[in-house]
Structure 1
């Protein structure tokens, strides 16, 4: 795993073994197979995420194929995953569930060992039934409780002065969905809210370190239009800088 190491010209170095770099290694995991769904274009949003994060790290995008959760040397893991289409997992199209369970266990272990995770949007629905994965995320979509109004212009209201990710940023304006009714762990620190059509606030951005690493979850990112927002881009860059600090 890449770790912060020393100072250089006011910045820092990252080290894996004897290899030094001024930039962290960032892997965007793009949902495919049992980690995709029919409502999200994972390829487009993962590409958009990679473009936004390129100024702050060395970014690669990987599809969630068997073996993709080998995280040796990864400084930041970006999760852009979804909930599988009903019947896909049962058909074992991409292998038996036991193999995938071991891979998810490896991801959870990596995160608990100090790994940094940025999770977006539909990742709150990913890997259903795994409490350990939910612990790493710091919150979850709850079937029958969570939902969202029609996609459109929206605002994410941010807590100011409480965390480096949001301090003095004010808010995020984007074309996106407003996830409402998410279940947030009591150990997570909520940093942003969306409002439903009745004006009620709902947590949509938080951080957690309770599992042993650092995670930022943002409910934004339904499609590529969201990542065109300058304020959304700024939020993501701030999140990455905090996660790898």
Structure 2
């Protein structure tokens, strides 16, 4: 059985807009449907110390980098070194929603992810009924997948690497904004901007997208 480690935002990677604990619990339930055993851990400096997962799922955001509260950047350096090591060894990563705005103290995270939320530039319309369009139906991850709809946010104007392989976009005011892509590497990494809260995962098409991402990342 494959094993996934779900990193739920805590402390400096926990924000007031996303319930990382609730979302991570739902993700663990969905992973089990595909025979993937999941461990949910908060983002503590030691969260990766003994981790040997087959898949890392990041459900963390932008929190409070207060040395008196959650340690210094130096205290967190081993965590980021360990994550970079897992990626370099070929452990796949699925980064969800606010993960584009997490690990700001790790400059390499943006290149691993293939994109970033940019403060003052990236934004989203109000949460509500949203649709997301497949733009490369020939890719095995989305082959046969129709339009994805969910109660969710549409992230717009993310800074996306020109080498990222974009799979889904959000259309807004005549523009198409990448929201799901395969990162350019190294490693097998998918970023998926959907999943503001558990309501997103009440949508069958959104769940199907998530399960396809997991299967593709695990080469199933």
TM bin, normalised by shorter chain, reads: over 0.9
Residue 207 of structure 2: aligned partner? 233
What's the secondary structure of 1:89's corresponding residue?
coil
TM-score (norm 1): 0.85
Cα deviation for residue 214 of structure 1 reads 0.4
Distance 1:139-1:61 versus aligned 2 partners, 3 A rule: same
May I ask how many residue pairs the two structures share in their alignment?
218
**Matching of residue 49 in structure 1 with residue 27 in structure 2:** yes
Q: CA RMSD in A?
A: 1.4
Distance 1:46-1:214 versus aligned 2 partners, 3 A rule: same
Provide the C-alpha distance between the structure 2 equivalents of 1:102 and 1:65, rounded to a whole number of angstroms.
Answer: 11
Cα deviation for residue 136 of structure 1 reads 1.2
Could you tell me which runs of 5 or more consecutive residues in structure 1 were left unpaired when the two chains were aligned. 1-22
Residue 30 of structure 1: aligned partner? 8
Residues 8-60 of structure 1: CA distance to partner in whole angstroms, max 9, x if unpaired?
A: xxxxxxxxxxxxxxx21011100000110011111111111111221120111
- Contact 1:34–1:89 at 8 Å: present in 2 too? yes
Distance 1:71-1:241 versus aligned 2 partners, 3 A rule: farther
Distance 1:71-1:160 versus aligned 2 partners, 3 A rule: farther
Task: Specify which of 33, 46, 66 is matched with residue 45 of structure 2.
Answer: 66
Residue 191 of structure 2: aligned partner? 217
Residues 113-151 of structure 1: CA distance to partner in whole angstroms, max 9, x if unpaired?
A: 211000000000001153311111111101111000011
Cα deviation for residue 154 of structure 1 reads 0.5
Runs of 4+ aligned structure 1 residues displaced above 3 Å come to none
TM-score (norm 2): 0.94
Residue 180 of structure 1: aligned partner? 156
